[in-house]
Amino acid sequence: MLPPGIRPDDEPPLHRLDEYAFQKLCRDMFEHEPDIATCNVYGTRGQPQDGIDLYAYRKNGDGIAVGQCKCYEDFPPAKIRDASDEFFLYWDTRWSKEKVKRFVLFVACDLSTRQRQDELNIQRARFNGFGIIYEPWSVATIINKLRPHKGIVATYFRPSEYWVGIICGEDLPKFPMAVETEAPKSTIISNYQAERLVTRASSEIEWRLEHMRSIWREGREDEVVWWINEVKSNNDLWPVMSSEVKAKILRFEAGIELDTRGDITRAKQLADEALLLAPSDNQARLRALIALRESGPEAALRILVGQEDEDSLNMRAAILLEMGRVTESLDLLTIEDSDSDSDA
């Protein structure tokens, strides 16, 4: 939780974030830089990091960019020097061989004092001597970099509705608390307003759900599980969401249960809950995944019979390939390619 400032120009207290959450925030933000292709946290807890926290590939393939993340309330000149020393400690043995082109020092506090600015200029010259661009990102720089990225702000900043409005200039949906029966008529939301609220809330969550799918594909399981639990436990948000969006979240959660814990019973329960919410939604792929874990590939293939969408065809082809039925798998992929060509 990041408490709102007292004055309108107060910077968000980023130093109150968990240090690993701050590190992930910097990773997600840095990955949106124009010259960066991908960015990852370098190493897990307890592993040596050789003087960096983030490791990024540049889009032009010409070397790498690295970053250090310092989640501190105060970062005086001595700490600025120490951060550089920590990196150059591994220069001869590691980084001199990897074409480092850019070094970013992410700091969760203000760096605007004259003493800090003078030290940063010294470090710029130091890194420049090695052919490396040195960039200090203070809290002000970080906030300005975040302004176009509502999804990132909503993921790491709480209360998200407040901070998205402050940082991005666009509010998230506001969810009403229960209205007392004796409230004046003027305070009761009309049916039309309530319908608009549900639509807006559902659209926002659906957008974030797609973002979470991307994060899941990157292997960031803990963030996705945390987000799902947050949404489902929000008593102001969950009740006003559309049944269709709730069902999508539950199906996503069911797939996660299968992938992470292999919990077939829990996956079935979530799939059943989703089906009650949205009976017309196609659950073939999810049910096939459950059948694959519970009864084997033949049972999964039976469920997928007649499913002609791209994801179902890919799933059938993958199962057939694992069963050693290579020709049938290739035939399916050929059909899919032909359909794609005809649609072009």
* pLDDT tens by residue, 193-218: 555 556 666 777 877 788 788 778 87
| Alpha-carbon gap, residue 312 to 171, rounded angstroms | 37
| Alpha-carbon gap, residue 312 to 314, rounded angstroms | 5
Instruction: Give the Å distances, CA to CA, from 326 to 108, 210, 262, 297, 333.
Output: 53, 32, 27, 14, 11
Q: Which residues of the chain have pLDDT under 70?
A: 1, 3-8, 170-201, 335-344
**What is the predicted pLDDT for the residue at 197?**
57
Structure tokens at 146: 């975040």
| Alpha-carbon gap, residue 224 to 256, rounded angstroms | 9
Whether 226 and 154 have beta carbons less than 8 Å apart is answered as: no
| Alpha-carbon gap, residue 105 to 30, rounded angstroms | 11
Phi, psi of 71 (to 5 degrees): -90, 75
| Alpha-carbon gap, residue 318 to 333, rounded angstroms | 10
Whether 103 and 141 have beta carbons less than 8 Å apart is answered as: no
**What is the predicted pLDDT for the residue at 260?**
87
Residue 317: name the closest of 308, 326, 309 by CA: 326
SS3 at position 58? strand
| Alpha-carbon gap, residue 246 to 241, rounded angstroms | 7
| Complete domains list, the chain, with CATH | 14-146 (3.40.1350.10), 215-275 (no CATH), 282-344 (no CATH)
Whether 132 and 101 have beta carbons less than 8 Å apart is answered as: yes
Residue 73: name the closest of 111, 22, 109 by CA: 109
Where b means 16+ CB within 10 Å and e means fewer, 241-265 reads bbeebbbbbbbbbbbbbbeeeeebe
Residue 50: name the closest of 98, 115, 94, 2 by CA: 94
Q: How many CB atoms lie within 10 A of CB 203?
A: 14
Cβ neighbours for 72, distance < 8 A, ≥ 6 positions apart: 15, 79, 107, 108, 109
| Alpha-carbon gap, residue 134 to 333, rounded angstroms | 48
Q: Please give the model's pTM, rounded to 2 decimal places.
A: 0.54
**What is the predicted pLDDT for the residue at 338?**
56
SS3 at position 296? coil
Helices and strands in the chain, H and E counts: 14, 5
| Alpha-carbon gap, residue 341 to 167, rounded angstroms | 44
**What is the predicted pLDDT for the residue at 45?**
83
**What is the predicted pLDDT for the residue at 179?**
40
- List, in sequence order, every residue forming a beta bridge with 36; answer none if it has no partner: 58
